[in-house]
Chains A and B, each alone.
Chain A
Amino acid sequence: MAIKDNIKPTRSELLELKKKIVLSQSGHKLLKMKRDGLIMEFFEIMDKAKNARAELMKSYGNATQKIAIARAVEGNVAVMSAAFALKEQPEINLESKNVMGVVVPKIESSGIMKHAHERGYGVIGTSSRIDEAAEAYERLVEQIIISAEIESAMKKLLDDIEKTKRRVNALEFKVIPELKDAEQFIKLRLEEMEREETFRLKKIKA
């Protein structure tokens, strides 16, 4: 249902509508600026996300190769046994930051990368293959955290761009034209009422 179908053609309504039109136009301008800003931010983050994803794939390939060598040479049993030696879990802190009004996650981790002597198992009885597999997986976890932060920020930005775009379009193609139509309708109706009033007065005089 159009706005004008529900509106009373009065001067106060007209004033109210004019205010709404001004507000919608400034809102439209601001949202357009926000949309453009978000798109620029998105392209920047997309480059970072591409690099992070490439790094992640590289780390994954490396970790797969290292664990394959460790499992082949040391045996699955040895790798499983060494994995039992570490109980400590890495700490992951989840905070948030604001990018042009969009709240995106900020993930910080600690205690992922460890030295050979900090991984729980004894150094004397193990080999560098176990160290290298563990190190490759530690790097992979770090890379996953970096990618998770960037990619979830990218997804949130994308959602917000979509939302802002819908709002801009709604204002530009629906709300503002309808408000303008309603304004035009009230103006015409008021003029018509004025003419009727003049005609009535003339008829009474005659």
Chain B
Amino acid sequence: MFGRSATAGNYAYATTRVKARKSFLFPRETYMKLLQMSVPEINRFIGESKYKQEIDELATRYDGIDLVEYALNLNLAREMNDILGFCQGELRVIMWAYLMRWDVWNIKSLLRGKFYNATEDDIRETFVPAGSISMQDFNDLLKKGSVPDVVEGLSKTIFYKPLINALDDFNKTKTLAPLENTLDLVYYENLLSIDLPGTKADELFVSFIRREIDFTNLRTLFRLKRAGLEHEKIMPMLIPGGARLNMDDLRKLAQAPGFDDFINLLKEYSYWAETAEAVDRYRQTGSLNAVEIALYKDQIAFAEKISHLYPLSICPILGYAIRKNVEVNNIRTISRGKEMELSDEVIKSQLVI
């Protein structure tokens, strides 16, 4: 869908603006400080920080930690829209395709809401307006009556044809899983199909996306092998185009007879180094959370590394978008964790710092 743009990107301008914004990100110490605070103190701290505008805007509709969460989401959405706004040429094309993950998120929320017959207000609350499809378009889609109607309403997007093909499976299984999986597959397929100039920085960007595909595939494999699913059912849920795990590797891992066999097989691959410790923790706790966090931290560390390598490229912009997302996730984790009375140790283990 996205061919190379006629104009080259405004890398110097965009990366300078992103660099300035990066300096406003919370440092590690802020999270440690937040961890020591009570829920009202966190609310006040966030309300007096760079999230003040969003907190003030939403204060009439929400309160407590819900207010913090919605304000964080709104701030993230605005930040992403700002980035898209000052990126031009091929840079804008790349960021547009990358930020389509929020379109995927919003379409999924919309489909789920329509499937469940949730109210328009309830569905609207789950939107994060950070993608390429405008909120006006989503408001129009909200008026559609059913899941197939929503799919019809997406006719101007890249998701339309694959979703139409997946509707048969949706009708057979009566679950949204085929549609949701299709959205994710199309997202990555589209991202990998962008025609990039082929500089070293572009290669790093592609390798970041491919690593993200590996991370997503490994997460899917861990979950489905633990659930004891047969490999024929796992394969359609794996995304082609990974960096270190191609489809043959994934098939081999999916064909492992049991979860322990899968773990033993995984030891032959390079990702074992990143996951070994977390797998030990899984064996103690029975939760895959540690494995996911280990993989996610590794992915974030890679994004951070490449963002410093080529200052005038897509990498610093991507690095900032990811760090901003991590900041929002960390603040939400601390504030929600405190509200839900999770121990500091548990909250800390979920943070990416």
Q: Give A residues with C-beta under 8 Å from B.
A: 64-65, 67-69, 71-73, 75-77, 80-88, 115-118, 120-125, 127-129, 131-132
Contact = CB atoms under 8 A, between A and B. Distances in A.
Interface in B67-98: 69-70, 73
B224 A117 contact: yes
A114 B346 CA distance: 27
Contacts of B115: 84-85, 87, 120
Interface in B106-152: 108-109, 112-113, 115-116, 118, 122-123, 125-126, 128
A81 B332 contact: no
B57 to A, nearest CB: 17
A80 B112 CA distance: 10
A125 B180 contact: yes
Given A81-B113, A117-B229, 4 more contacts: A77-B109, A84-B109, A85-B177, A116-B226
Contact of B237 (A72, A75, A87, A123): A123
Interface of B: 66, 69-70, 73, 104-105, 108-109, 112-113, 115-116, 118, 122-123, 125-126, 128, 174-181, 183-185, 216, 219-220, 222-224, 226-229, 233, 237, 239, 287-289, 291-292, 329, 332-334, 336-337, 340-342, 346-347, 350
Contacts of A75: 69, 73, 329, 332, 336
Interface on chain B toward A: helix, strand, loop, or mixed SS?
Answer: helix
Given A117-B177, A124-B220, A77 B128 contact: yes
9 contacts: A69-B289, A73-B289, A76-B336, A84-B126, A123-B177, A124-B185, A125-B181, A129-B292, A132-B288
Contacts of B112: 81-82, 84-85, 120-121
Which A-B residue pairs are the 7 nearest by beta carbons? A122-B180, A68-B340, A84-B112, A128-B288, A72-B336, A124-B184, A84-B116
**At the interface, is chain A mostly helix, strand, loop or mixed?**
helix
In this complex, the member of B113, B183, B332 whose beta carbon has the largest number of chain A beta carbons within 10 angstroms is B332
A123 B218 CA distance: 12
Contacts of A131: 223, 288
B333 A123 contact: no
A123 B224 CA distance: 9
A68 B350 CA distance: 12
Contacts of A115: 227-229
Contact of A76 (B69, B104, B113, B289): B69
A85 B223 contact: no
Given A75-B69, A116-B224, A129-B292, A122 B108 contact: yes
A73 B329 contact: yes
A82 B223 CA distance: 16
Given A72-B332, A81-B126, A85-B176, A128 B346 contact: no
